[in-house]
């Protein structure tokens, strides 16, 4: 029995959906432990793309149990739409294979209005939030005034809690954000039917996962976004509103840290970032445009163009330490094919200092210039390669150098979006 956590090491969009989909073949239970529908995991099966925003990527496998943890915040309308889309495409989404923690917090209409209102008021200083109410929902969770799924499925409790908070929310919306308000009746009319649809899926997932552990089942934990969007460890304030790091797999699901046996860190073969925030290796030239075009670098959730740059191992080393990585999964290696010279940032130059550790202060990070190491590229199309030994010599050297710089073994290499375009060097579930 092995329990593995998959996290992003950069700013998200590293290809977690595909690798979770591949690793789900070994797991019995697949658990999402944080985030909301501000993130999207893209999986390509038999040439068809599926984008999951809330439901764990393992849902594409018929015999898997999928769980939405208490660390996630859920817009019930979005979840039901996602369930319906999957069902319309012949994928089973039933109470026996999709569970929702009774402690998961519910995104309400006023959360989304607050999100949009705050961004509008900030003008040029906006953070670039997706406007889906994620942050305001987590905010209510922390201030102990949120609505959980166990509240949602109890009409009496739901109405009572909604009534208590709505006066405050409408006052804030109207008088501070100069936004429209919401009324209790319309929310009840919308959300009570949601509760009836989702009620059969709601349970105590801590108990469910514990039972799976005791039964000797393998469990796969997946997060959203990446380490450097973590509320504590990311490029604050240009971060998400939850803990994206591996440690939150325990808090976000209700299991102990002794039940985690490995952490796989997702590393895109280059670096991307959506929205605002510092990005030392960002490219503002034709190579950046080429990577963006070849990699189809648009957000799966927002459709926003991703900023692109060279691989930054200062960033990835930081993630390796914070998450206690036991292995790396390198994705989109194929995108770099055809480039004559590749660059990897190994340190930063800050004024007179050479920095080898990722700085927390944005003022420092914004002033950092990457120190690059150059490696020769390769011209071969590698999208059909099935064995690491069949990769071009320079591609193997690139992977090896990443492994050396991050001081973490590469376990998986992805050379395309499809399931079969995956080279497994070491199975993360193999503890021998």
Q: Which residues are catalytic?
A: 13, 41
Whether 18 and 45 have beta carbons less than 8 Å apart is answered as no
Q: Helices 184-198 & 76-88, crossing angle to 10 degrees?
A: 40
Residue whose token pair is 């739901």: 158
Enumerate the β-bridge partners of residue 320: none
Token pair recorded at residue 160? 């009572």
Helices (H) and strands (E) in the chain, counts: 13, 20
Whether 271 and 10 have beta carbons less than 8 Å apart is answered as yes
CA 354 to chain centre: 31
Enumerate the β-bridge partners of residue 23: none
Q: How far apart, in whole angstroms, are the C-alpha atoms of residue 274 and residue 305?
A: 7
3-state DSSP assignment of residue 174: helix
Enumerate the β-bridge partners of residue 42: 51
Token pair recorded at residue 103? 């402690």
Q: String of b and e for 281-293 (b: at least 16 CB within 10 Å)?
A: bbbeeebbebbbe
End-to-end C-alpha distance for the chain, whole angstroms: 11
CA 104 to chain centre: 17
List the Cα angle 364/366/371 in 5-degree steps: 85
Cα dist from 61 to 24, 161, 247, whole Å: 8, 38, 26
What backbone torsions phi and psi does residue 99 show, to the nearest 5 degrees? -120, 150
Burial status of residue 62 (CB atoms within 10 A of its CB: 0-12, 13-18, 19 or more)? exposed
Q: Helices 109-122 & 134-142, crossing angle to 10 degrees?
A: 110
Strand 307-309 relative to strand 48-52, pairing: unpaired
């Amino acid at each position: 029995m092995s329990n593995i956590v998959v996290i992003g090491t950069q700013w998200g969009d590293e290809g977690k959906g595909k690798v979770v989909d591949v690793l789900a073949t070994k797991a019995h239970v697949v658990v999402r432990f944080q985030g909301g529908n501000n993130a999207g995991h893209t999986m390509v099966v038999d040439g068809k793309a599926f984008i999951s925003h809330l439901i764990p990527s393992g849902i594409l496998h018929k015999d898997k149990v999928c769980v939405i943890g208490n660390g996630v915040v859920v817009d019930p309308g979005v979840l039901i739409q996602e369930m319906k889309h999957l069902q319309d495409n012949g994928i089973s989404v039933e109470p026996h294979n999709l569970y929702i923690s009774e402690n998961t917090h519910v995104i309400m209409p006023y959360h989304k209005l607050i999100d949009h209102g705050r961004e509008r008021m900030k003008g040029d200083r906006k953070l670039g939030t997706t406007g889906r109410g994620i942050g305001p929902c987590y905010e209510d969770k922390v201030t102990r005034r949120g609505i959980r799924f166990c509240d949602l499925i109890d009409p009496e409790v739901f109405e009572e809690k909604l009534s208590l908070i709505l006066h405050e929310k409408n006052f804030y919306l109207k008088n501070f954000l100069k936004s429209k308000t919401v009324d209790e009746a319309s929310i009840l009319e919308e959300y009570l039917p949601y509760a009836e649809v989702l009620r059969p899926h709601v349970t105590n997932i801590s108990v469910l996962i514990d039972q799976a552990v005791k039964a000797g089942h393998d469990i796969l934990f997946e997060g959203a976004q990446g380490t450097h969007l973590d509320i504590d460890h990311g490029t604050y304030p240009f971060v998400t509103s939850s803990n994206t790091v591996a440690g939150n797999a325990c808090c976000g699901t209700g299991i102990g840290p002794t039940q985690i046996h490995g952490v796989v860190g997702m590393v895109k073969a280059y670096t991307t970032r959506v929205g605002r925030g510092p990005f030392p290796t960002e490219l503002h030239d034709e190579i950046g445009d080429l990577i963006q075009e070849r990699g189809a670098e648009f957000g799966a959730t927002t459709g926003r163009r991703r900023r692109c740059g060279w691989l930054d191992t200062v960033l990835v080393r930081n993630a390796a330490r914070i998450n206690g990585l036991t292995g790396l999964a390198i994705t989109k290696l194929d995108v770099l094919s055809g480039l004559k010279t590749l660059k990897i940032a190994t340190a930063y130059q800050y004024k007179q200092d050479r920095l080898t550790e990722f700085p927390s202060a944005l003022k420092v990070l914004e002033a950092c210039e990457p120190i690059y190491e150059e490696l020769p590229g390769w011209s071969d199309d590698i999208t059909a390669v099935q064995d690491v030994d069949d990769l071009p010599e320079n591609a193997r050297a690139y992977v090896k150098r990443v492994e050396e710089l991050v001081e973490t073994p590469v376990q998986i290499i992805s050379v395309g979006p499809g399931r079969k375009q995956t080279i497994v060097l070491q199975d993360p579930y193999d503890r021998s």
